[in-house]
Structure 1
Amino acid sequence: MTPQQIALVQDSWKKIVPIRDMAALLFYARLFELDPSLRPHFRKPLDQQGRKLMGMLGTAVGCLGRMGEITATAGDLGRRHAAYGVKDEHYDSVAEAFLWTLEQALDTDFTPELREAWTVAYTTLANVMKDAANDPAFSQAVA
């Protein structure tokens, strides 16, 4: 990510934090609308799951530019998601729902440049998670 993209994501995140509970509920509603097959993967109440999601996102946003600080955590998260049955293709639905949520929450502040910055940030994190989940050593341990 470029320094400008990092700044865009971090600045926009400050606008999401005050409405994070609402944003999380919007996200999950959109995610299940896009891919109803994902609903059974979420056993905890969505308000609890939303708090976890927003906490993880806040940590990730804070570490942009210093991905080494979150790579191990993201890898562990990716492996846990794989154990829950999450597949690589599910990350596309999550990306679409997440970007839609940002667009709803930020309205006119969600510019094409900001969309691109968030896309890069999400893709970077998702790739770390998928790589960890697809690690042959992990696959053998789960099998």
Structure 2
Amino acid sequence: MEAQHIALVQQTFAKVEPIAQEVGDLFYNRLFEMDPSVRPLFKGDMKKQALMLMTVIGLAVRGLDRPEAIAPSIRALGERHSRYGVKGSDYHTFGAALIWALEQVLGDAFTPEVKAAWIEAYDVLAGAMKKATLPVEAAT
């Protein structure tokens, strides 16, 4: 990713972080609206899940400028999600729900350039997670 895009993602995440619970809740509500079939993948407390999601996104966002440092964590996350039943095809819906949630809370600050930077960041991270799922999916 270009340094400018990384900076945009990190700057806008700083605005989102104080309202992480709200963003996480919006994400999951939208995700389940877009694809009800993924709902059974989430069996625990959704408030906790929403906060965990935003914590993980925060770690990934802070590491965008050091991809080699976060690569093992992202790979492990992809493997874990595969074991939970997340398929490679689910990542598109997850990404769309995340972008939608960010757009809702950032409003006018979610400019086309910011949106493009977030899509790029998501694609990079989701791509790394999907690569980690391939051996697990092939074994099932």
TM score, norm. by length of structure 2? 0.96
By how many angstroms is 1:80 displaced?
1.1
* Aligned Cα root-mean-square deviation (Å): 1.1
By how many angstroms is 1:28 displaced?
0.3
Q: What's the counterpart of residue 105 of structure 1?
A: 105
Correspondence 1:59 to 2:64: no
By how many angstroms is 1:139 displaced?
4.7
Q: Which runs of 5+ in 1 are unaligned?
A: none
Q: How does 1:1-143 map to 2 (within 5 A)?
A: 1-135=1-135, 138-139=136-137, 143=140
| Runs (4+) off by over 4 Å | none
Give the Cα separation in 2 of the matches to 1:17 and 1:83: 28
SS of the residue aligned with 1:5? helix
SS of the residue aligned with 2:80? helix
Give the Cα separation in 1 of the matches to 2:82 and 2:125: 15
Q: Which runs of 5+ in 2 are unaligned?
A: none
By how many angstroms is 1:44 displaced?
1.0
Deviations 1:98-143 (A, max 9, x none): 00001001000000000000001000000000001103xx456x54
Q: Could you tell me which amino acid in structure 1 is paired with residue 71 of structure 2?
A: T
Give the Cα separation in 2 of the matches to 1:3 and 1:43: 38
Paired residues, number = 140
SS of the residue aligned with 1:65? coil
% identical aligned pairs: 43
By how many angstroms is 1:83 displaced?
1.1
Give the Cα separation in 2 of the matches to 1:34 and 1:139: 23
Q: Could you tell me which amino acid in structure 2 is paired with residue 79 of structure 1?
A: E
TM score, norm. by length of structure 1? 0.94
